[in-house]
Amino acid sequence: MAEAERRARWTVRELLTWTSERFASLGIPDARVDAEHLLAHALGCARIELYVQHDRLLDESDRAGFRELVRRRLAREPVAYIEGTRGFHALDLDLAVDRRALIPRPETEHLVDWLLESLRPPPAPLMHVLDVGTGSGAIALAVAKARYEVQVTAVDISAEALALARHNIERLGLEDRVTCVQSDLLEAVEVPERGPQRGFDAIAANLPYIPTVDLDGLEPEVRVWEPTSALDGGPDGLTFVRQLISAVVECSALIPGGRLLLEIGVGQAGQVESLLREAGFLDVQSRSDYARIPRVVSGAWPSE
């Protein structure tokens, strides 16, 4: 094979090496992983398959689509938006993602795990869960997928985010288990009435919690590409957390013993714990994420 012809066809290994070095030189984190994700996406194969194809030659037609994906990543577009999907919680919970909502993150899985632990164990009568600030629908869908006897109300103020959530609900075939409501926190939410008992069994919220002053310091993938309205939590990051806690109390939105679970930012756990206790919640606790940062705060509404 002539050298000119040879250089017109790169191996998978060579293309991954060149791309990851290019990404790394520009300060893009996880450069090799990103390169693998994009090449697998361009070739229509699983990322793991690349490891047994390192010597496969790729001609111009193979590389054309990959170049466009690389161009987008060089503009700091997140890989999840480029691929159009992101796995969350359960192995088969594959969510469509785009710029209408935040990309689901591993930290939020801790909230889902805690919420599922707080529900009555199966077999159990019908339970109701509220997901406030649903975005792509990640929390609502993970809960509905895990527990067949749970009805989930997914709430967001953004009509665009709710359209994405509805799309994911349909993708997963959970239309009969998850209902979307456009609402500013609890304003348009109907609290369940079950005989003498009123309220949701659990309320989860991943609200904007980044202080406004910190937004400009975020990575370009977040600052430029993800919706600012889903990030900006006001002067100290807790504007919407305070509003939700007040709304839950004023609306009697939890059954006795029901839990409110809040995802929070770095350094906010102590303040949010105090807010919950001052509002009358009991058994207030925090749980940490994989980096040992307190990431979820929860409190139980008093039993009658």
Q: Angle CA(235)–CA(180)–CA(232) in degrees, nearest 5?
A: 15
Supply the DSSP symbol for 219: -
Nearest to 200 by CA among 135, 153, 244: 153
Binding site, annotated residues? 133-137, 156, 206
Buried b (16+ CB within 10 A) or exposed e, 133-166: bbbbbbbbbbbbbbbeebbbbbbbbbeebbebbb
- Interstrand relation of 85-88 and 57-58 (parallel, antiparallel or unpaired): unpaired
Binding site, annotated residues for S-adenosyl-L-methionine? 133-137, 156, 206
- Interstrand relation of 10-11 and 57-58 (parallel, antiparallel or unpaired): antiparallel
Q: Name the token pair of 150.
A: 């749970």
Cis peptide before 123 (omega within 30 of 0): yes
Q: Give the C-alpha separation, 115 to 25, whole Å.
A: 41
Q: Give the C-alpha separation, 224 to 216, whole Å.
A: 10
